[in-house]
Amino acid sequence: MLGARPTSRVDGATLACFFALSMTLIPARLIFAKLPLALTPAMLVGLVLGVLWFCAQMVDNLGVAKGRSAVRTSMFLFALSQVATYGYSTYSYLPQDELKATDRTFITLMAFVCVGIAVCDGVRGLKRIDRVLKVLVGGATFMAIVGIFQFAIGFDLTKYLMLPGLRLAGDISFVLDRSNFRRPAGTAEHPIEFGVVCSMAVPLALHYAFRAKDYGGPQWRWWFCLGILSVAAMQSLSRSAVLGLTIAALILIPHMPRGRRWRAVVACGVFVVALRFLVPGLVGTLIALFTNISVDPSIGSRTRAIDRAGAEIAQHLWLGRGMGTYLPTKYGYLDNQYLGTIVMAGLVGLATLVFLFLAAGYAAMRARLTSNDPQTRDLGITLAACLSVPAISAATFDLLAFSVATGFAFLLMGCAGALLRAVREENQIRGVLA
């Protein structure tokens, strides 16, 4: 079922698209009503993907890749580190609230690891990779539109997306406030996560906008997606989103052809000016997030978090105290995934997390370097730019605590691994024909 040879049947790309839509169309706070564990539809799809991947590995006629992959290896190592941390933390006593939190975090991470591995091995061929990424952009655009309505007029569409059999996990608002502006979350859990997810999708929308003629279909729809995602990322009023977009631009723009490079720089300037006139005060608020950083209470909280984390790290240096056990309401916010990983998963967990990003970035860049197809080369650098967003933003917010941002990151990692496989297979075919 995960094979991608005949595109007329359900394959790995089809299931990956279903996962992407379940993350973006269904509010992240909706969980299954009759289950004792807080399980979202996206998590369930991820676990199903893992089971299907495992079953497909037992046979040779479903088209699932079985060769070596740096991305798949990094995900296995990350999963093993999480298993070790979970066993270490639950071997001794944990308070009930921390035990429940680590159970949910462990299952969530395993579900998304399953997604990454299944996509890496099960999405075969450049066309099927494009299909997954296009659906990902479409789903993110829907989330962004929901967020724009929340920001502009306070209309929360998530109230009408409550599906039968699901319930809201707590009385949580999808709209917060900052500097007299509404901070939308779209269908994500938090405005910061919303902004980071939109920022991850922006490079992909830009890629398909520039390459619309090569892929076929109307070009305007991708420019529409790009505009919506860019505006929504800014409206999240998140430093993480702005920082992620900046890093992605610094990766993308130097690799563009000269003419396109200058158009991109001019377009960025025009976008900022237009945003300043369309939403008075928004650009100034975004600038103040960085210029007033020394007096921002959230920065002070992050500084104090380092002192609090030091004592925990000394007690559980290698495997941590357990993922999810450092509850913000109980111990305070860390707002730094790398610091939080050291606290909750130790140095072993931190090493495997960093290796995840490095392996996925390597796969994307290696695909670009080894391909002779301009379209594929552009997609490689685009994926590298997308992956830089969660890699950098993880230093400014708790990435793995938010399911949508984490799911997006693992899906993109899997696509990077699948792209490198596809490029190598094409090069082998060309070598044989030559």
Whole-angstrom Cα distance, residue 379 to residue 203? 9
Q: What is the pLDDT of residue 6?
A: 44
Residues of the chain under the 70 pLDDT cut? 1-8, 171-176, 178-179, 293-303, 432-434
Q: Residue 327 gets which letter from DSSP?
A: -
| pLDDT, position 49 | 96
pLDDT at 391: 97
Q: Which two tokens stand for residue 395?
A: 């230093």
Radius of gyration of the chain (CA): 21
What pLDDT sits at residue 259? 82
The amino acid sitting at 350 is L
Cα-Cα end-to-end distance for the chain: 33
| Paired tokens of 255 | 């690799």
Question: What is the rounded CA–CA span in Å between residue 307 and residue 305?
Answer: 5
Q: What is the pLDDT at residue 295?
A: 65
Q: How many residues appear in the chain? A: 434
Cβ-in-10-Å burial (0-12, 13-18, 19+) of 354 comes to middle
Question: What's the pLDDT score for residue 3?
Answer: 44
Tokens of 318: 């290698």
Amino acid found at 381: I
Where along the chain do its domains lie? 12-58+81-433
What pLDDT does 301 receive? 64
Instruction: Check residue 213 and give its pLDDT.
Output: 78
- The whole-number pLDDT of residue 179 equals 60
- For residues 174 and 190, what is the distance between their CA atoms, to the nearest angstrom? 7
**What interhelical angle do 403-433 and 96-122 show, nearest 10?**
20
For residues 309 and 341, give the distance between their C-alpha atoms in angstroms, rounded to a whole number: 10
Compute, in degrees rounded to 10, the torsion defined by CA atoms 254, 395, 231, 237: -140
Residue 32 phi, psi dihedral angles, 5° rounding? -65, 135
